[in-house]
Structure formats: C-alpha cells, structure tokens
Amino acid sequence: MMYAGRDTLEKLCADIFTALGLTPGEAEDSARILVTADARGIQSHGVARIRRYAGGIRQGSIRCGVEPVVLHETPLSFVLDAGGGMGLSLARRSMDRVIAIAEKNGFGVCGIRNSNHFGIAGFYAEMAARKDMIGIAMTNTAALGVPTHARKAMFGTNPIAFAAPASGGKLFSLDMATTAVTRGKIEVYQREGKKLPPFWAVDAEGRVPDDAARLLDGMLYQRGGGLLPLGGEGEMYGGHKGYGLAVMVDILTALCSGGIFGESVRDSEASSARVCHFFMAMRIDLFRPPDDFRRDMDRMLGELSSLESADGSGRVWYAGQKEQDAEERSAREGVPLTEEVWETLKKTAEELGVPFPPPLPAC
C-alpha cells in the first residue's frame, strides 16, 4: 500500500479535475467525496475512479459547469434535470438544499434525473445526520443486477444510504448496494488479479463466474448475466428481497424524477451512465427532542458494540463503525491506496501537467 496525506490527496484530485475542465467548486467537492471513500476503506468508490470520470468528461457524457434545471418545486421538494453535470458536486449541493428545506419545514426531499455517478451514497445521508436529522440517499445505476430467477440484468446496484446521529459525532450510517456486491468491488478484484468468490454473480448461462474481467465485459455490453441481488440466487436466502429493494430505488430515483430506469441505463467504455438520485432529510424534533434521541442512539449502539462475537472475530460492528474507525486511522497514518491506483493517479496527473506529490513513508 501507498499512503497520502488527506489534504494533499484532495488537492491533487481537485487539481486533476480542474485541469479536466470542472469549475473549482465542482473539483473540490468531487475530490473531497472520492478521498473520503478511500479514507474509509471503500476502495471501490475512491480515487481509482478518476480515470473513469476523466473519460466521461472527455467524451462529453459528464459536462462541466452545468447548472441544473428545476423541473418541479414545492415548499418541501424539488426535482432537477442535472443536464449531465458532475454527479458528485451536484449531489452535495442538492443535499445542502434539501437540508435547508428541512431546517425550515421539518422535512425536505428531492429527485434528480440526467445526472452522473455520485460516489458513496453514505456521504450525503451523513450530511443530514450531522444536522440532527435522519438522512437518506439513493441512486440508480447502469443495469448490472439480475432479477430473481432471471439471467438478464434489469436493474443497477441501486444503493440505499440511511444515517442517524448519536452523541460525540458518532453515527449509525448504513450504505448498502441492493446487489450482493457493487461493480466497484468486481473492479477491485480485476485490478488485483483475484478470482471472484461464488454467490456474487451469474453468467448468461446461469453459471458462477470467477473471472472479474470477463464478467465486467459481459455486463458492459449486456451480453447476459450480471450481479446477483442482495441475498443471492433464488429465494432461499432472500434474493427476492434484494431484487425488490433495487426496484424500489428505481421507483424513487427515476420514476419520481421522470428519468430512465432498468435496462435503459447503460454504461459506455469511457464513462458511467446518466443516472437518477433521491435525497431526503427529516428533522428529529418532528418526533422528539434530539438530545433524547441521541441518548437512546448511544444506548443502542453501545449495546450492539458490547456484544460478544460468536465467530471469534473479536468484535460486533454496527453500520458505519468500520468506516468511522478507518477514517480516524487515515487521519493519523495517511489515506491508503494500492500501488496500482497510485500509479494510475500519477499517470493521469502527468497527462494533464498536474504536479504529483511523493507518497508518505509506509506505515
């Protein structure tokens, strides 16, 4: 692993995005969100994706400096056409606006269509949680997931994020794909040359694939097969529930905003698909005093953390705890990147004439 100081890595990524044509605000937002993913140990959604964002900007599927168009608005909600703008920055700004509506009215919600990949969904849900609110964020993605009993991808990894505050900055932060894994996880296995484990995906013939590159190629060109829904194949272990959740995300993100959904959402070789988002923030004091809520959250999270591990792993985790621990460790030791990601980042910077910093000493 290579290590980089968080501020240094954010500046490097922002400089790369600026050189590609994003506005300074878009570049800074995008860099911060990607580096946050790596700092939390979510390599599938971190700076390794910069090459794909760069491809989208160069291809024109990601447009720089776009102001979204308001399609519909009420005192509690709004719907935007993103015009192909940078999803990372657009999502951050939109969640800010949703939070402002909730601060005034108790509740805020928005739908967005014609956007681009927005990184880790949990980032946006947590924005609301840090304001004494319940936060929810969702996005649809390119069709990669195979419905229960089918062999053709008809929905995306369609993540759901939910965040709620405890005391002292602690959060319950659930950020989950509705497929067994994300495509980013498959890409990590491809970069590292590892065989895929069973129960993640099926090919066009219904067999279990172990070649990450072949699976990614098949999904890109929709040759059949794809990722299994959360719960796996069939109904025995609840795969139909993951399938249902994925369709629910398509309804909230795409149908509510008038965007595209299902197999119509397609990636290209250079870039990710145009997608739809959904954000919601809800003030806790609609229900009870926030101090009382946080007190009970402290108790709940404490009880979960104090459970004895049944498999000898030494710890029972609640959602978001691993990522919070990893982020604290990254602040002390630097943000970890694989050597391959480091070299890819270096190549991208050199192509754009952006100065590249040396890594930190190995920890």
- pLDDT tens digits, 54-92: 999 999 999 999 999 999 999 999 999 999 999 999 999
Which residue type occupies 296?
D
More confident residue, 314 or 238: 238
pLDDT in tens, 188-246: 899 888 999 888 998 877 788 888 988 888 888 888 889 999 999 899 999 999 999 99
> 33, 120 in Cβ contact below 8 A?
yes
With cut-offs at 50, 70 and 90, classify the pLDDT of residue 353. Answer: very high
More confident residue, 210 or 254: 254
pLDDT in tens, 32-56: 999 999 999 999 899 999 999 999 9
- Tell me the C-alpha distance between 258 and 278, whole Å: 12
pLDDT in tens, 153-202: 999 999 999 999 999 999 999 999 999 998 888 888 998 889 998 889 98
More confident residue, 150 or 42: 42
Q: What are phi and psi of 110, to 5 degrees?
A: -150, 155
DSSP-based three-state secondary structure for 61 = coil
Instruction: Tell me which residue of 184, 161, 156, 147 sits closest to 261, measured CA to CA.
Output: 156
What percent of the chain clears pLDDT 70, i.e. is strictly above it? Answer: 99
Sign of the C-alpha dihedral computed for residues 169, 174, 177 and 181 taken in this order = positive
How big is the CA angle at 184 (ends 181 and 188), to the nearest 5 degrees? Answer: 105
pLDDT score recorded for residue 123? 98
Residue 117 has pLDDT above 90, yes or no: yes
With cut-offs at 50, 70 and 90, classify the pLDDT of residue 362. Answer: low
What percent of the chain clears pLDDT 90, i.e. is strictly above it? Answer: 79
pTM of the entire structure?
A: 0.93
Q: What stretches of the chain show up as alpha helix (H) in DSSP?
A: 6-20, 24-39, 50-59, 87-105, 122-129, 183-191, 212-220, 239-250, 290-305, 321-333, 339-352
Q: What is the mean pLDDT of the chain?
A: 93
pLDDT score recorded for residue 37? 97
Q: Residue 186's CB: how many other CB atoms inside 10 A?
A: 22
More confident residue, 269 or 113: 113
How big is the CA angle at 33 (ends 28 and 34), to the nearest 5 degrees? Answer: 100
- The token pair at 197 is 């484990």
> 46, 105 in Cβ contact below 8 A?
no
Could you say which of 1.10.10.10, 3.30.1370.60, 3.40.190.80, 1.10.530.10 is the CATH number of the domain covering 20-290? 3.30.1370.60
- Tell me the C-alpha distance between 84 and 90, whole Å: 10
pLDDT score recorded for residue 363? 53
pLDDT score recorded for residue 327? 96
Instruction: Tell me which residue of 225, 253, 56 sits closest to 158, measured CA to CA.
Output: 253
Element housing 257 (H / E): none
User: Average pLDDT for residues 305-311, to the nearest whole number?
Assistant: 88
